[in-house]
Amino acid sequence: MNGLMLLMSEENRSAVLGSLDIMWKGVLAIFIVIGIIAIVTFIMNDIAAQNAKAGGFLNRIKKFFAEKFPKSKKPADKE
């Protein structure tokens, strides 16, 4: 690479180095996005596992509302 850089003109050299700089920033951005997706996936998987231990998310909601609002027994219609 050094021999090739010596043969290049200053304009071409700066253009190549600029392109490499942009490329590395792009590669870094891709890895950051992949890392964020991996972290979010791990957290969501952990939450799902905890909900499964508790009987599932919907069952927890049903249980919560059943405790807060117990079914009231309506008096029978007397005729």
The full set of domain ranges for the chain reads 35-69
pLDDT of 36 reads 97
The single residue listed with the structure tokens 């972290």 is 39
Higher-pLDDT residue of 29, 17 = 29
Q: Which two tokens stand for residue 11?
A: 């304009």
Higher-pLDDT residue of 33, 47 = 33
pTM, full prediction:
0.52
Nearby residues of 5 by Cβ (< 8 Å), 6 or more positions away: 13
Higher-pLDDT residue of 59, 22 = 22
- Taking only the tens place, the pLDDT of each residue in 36-76 is 999 999 988 888 887 777 666 677 788 888 888 887 666 65
* DSSP code string of 16-78: HHHHHHHHHHHHHHHHHHHHHHHHHHHHHHHHHHHHHHTT-HHHHHHHHHHHHSPPPPPPPP-
Q: Which two tokens stand for residue 36?
A: 């964020």
